[in-house]
Amino acid sequence: MTPTERRLPGWLLPVVLGVVVIVLVTIALTRGPVSLDPDSPEGTVQEYLVAISESRWDDAIAVIHDDWRGSCQGFDLEAFAPGEFSAELGSSGRGGFEFQEDFAAVGEGSPEATIPDNATRVDVTIHRQDDGALSSSWQEFVTFEIVFDGDFWWIVGDPWPHFIFSCPAR
């Protein structure tokens, strides 16, 4: 056999590349959302954000620590509903965070205490597309403060979208 007879057909490489691209696009489009461990700080934040995106206000409020949500109810959060959004874990352009020893809450119904050692932060990037004639998109970097108390990770502080300041005092 001569070298020209052992050659692959010229159409084979583009066909193989096309099939690989189609398979990768199909995988990317059919892959469902990532479900984080609900017993982790990240899973608690995911549960909260999914509840907000599905307008389940009472479920969203349920993962905020009692000492921090004060008298807030689901309808208090609903008044600050952000509309459609997407979120991803982590945020670009932000450094690492540590709780400061003197961190104390401000606002009605919040404990005047420091964040305990069993606390962490979860950074999230919120993406939103505004509708309208001059539609625009924006992203917001949000840090959720999380504390482990009673075998559960709780959101503390005034989480995104900030609404606790508007709740009536207990």
pLDDT bracket for residue 169 (50, 70, 90): low
Confirm whether 136 is domain-assigned: yes
Confirm whether 70 is domain-assigned: yes
The whole-number pLDDT of residue 111 equals 46
Confirm whether 80 is domain-assigned: yes
Range of the domain at 113: 41-94+102-166
Q: What angle do CA 39, 143, 83 make, to 5 degrees?
A: 90
Confirm whether 159 is domain-assigned: yes
Confirm whether 36 is domain-assigned: no
Confirm whether 48 is domain-assigned: yes
Domains identified in the chain, total number: 1
CATH number of the domain residue 162 falls in? 3.10.450.50
Percent of the chain with pLDDT over 70: 72
What CA–CA distance (Å, rounded) separates 126 from 91?
9
The whole-number pLDDT of residue 108 equals 37
Give the mean model confidence (pLDDT) for residues 133-138: 70
pLDDT bracket for residue 62 (50, 70, 90): very high
pLDDT bracket for residue 155 (50, 70, 90): very high
3-state helix/strand/coil string of the chain: CCCCCCCCCCCHHHHHHHHHHHHHHHHHHHCCCCCCCCCCHHHHHHHHHHHHHCCCHHHHHCCECHHHHCCCCHHHHHCCCCCCCEEEECCCCCCCCCCCCCCCCCCCCCCCCCCCCCEEEEEEEEEEECCCCCCCEEEEEEEEEEEECCCCEEEECCCCCCCHHHCCCC
Confirm whether 53 is domain-assigned: yes
What CA–CA distance (Å, rounded) separates 3 from 87?
55
Mean pLDDT of the chain: 76
pLDDT bracket for residue 69 (50, 70, 90): confident
Query: Residue 87: pLDDT above 80?
Result: yes
Confirm whether 31 is domain-assigned: no
pLDDT bracket for residue 128 (50, 70, 90): confident
